[in-house]
Amino acid sequence: MTPSKRKRPRWRRLALVALVLAAYPAFVLIYTWSHVLQSPLPGGRHGPLDAYRHTLASAVVAYTLDPRAIDLVNGVMERRGKRSNQMDIHNNLIGAGIGARAARFADIEPTVARSVAAGRIDAATPDQTTWLPRNDWKEGFAW
């Protein structure tokens, strides 16, 4: 058998699959955090910057995979009992809509930034980005 016709060991195929599966979340996280860390928005936890992070990451996932993936993310990552998780779910769904409607990847971040700029504390409408009141914000980021 020639070297090019040899079968790859099973562990190599599994390692390749694991690498590919890990590359996608890394792409989403790196893209999102590169924008978050440059943003002048306040409120890294429960404030406008947190809303921006959730909306942007969800828009990227919806654009690159499928908007329904956000339902899975919400079910796994967000516990529905806390007010801050309700805010995150709300913003994730707005991001899913932005990603689903985006014509180009380059349109995502500016659309998210406009959505957050038009957002408000405890937004009453389902299409408006929201965050908690300033006295509920926490320093740093929720990793």
Confidence at residue 83, expressed as pLDDT on a 0 to 100 scale: 85
95 inside domain: yes
Confidence at residue 5, expressed as pLDDT on a 0 to 100 scale: 57
54 inside domain: yes
Confidence at residue 112, expressed as pLDDT on a 0 to 100 scale: 98
Confidence at residue 42, expressed as pLDDT on a 0 to 100 scale: 94
Give the total number of structural domains in the chain.
1
Rounded CA separation 118/5 (Å): 58
Rounded CA separation 127/91 (Å): 9
11 inside domain: no
Flag whether pLDDT at 2 surpasses 60: no
136 inside domain: no
Flag whether pLDDT at 65 surpasses 60: yes
Number of C-beta neighbours around residue 109 at 10 A: 18
139 inside domain: no
Structural domain span for residue 117: 42-122
Flag whether pLDDT at 104 surpasses 60: yes
113 inside domain: yes
87 inside domain: yes
Q: Name the residue with higher pLDDT: 31 or 83.
A: 31
Residue 95 near residue 54 (C-beta atoms within 8 A): yes
Diameter of the chain measured on Cα atoms: 70
Q: 6: pLDDT confidence band, cut at 50, 70 and 90?
A: low
Flag whether pLDDT at 142 surpasses 90: no
Rounded CA separation 70/94 (Å): 10
Cross-strand pairs, 130: 120
Q: Where are the alpha helices (DSSP H) in the chain?
A: 10-36, 48-64, 68-77, 83-101, 108-117
Q: Name the residue with higher pLDDT: 25 or 140.
A: 25
Task: With residue 56 as reference, give the H or E element that holds it.
Answer: helix 48-64
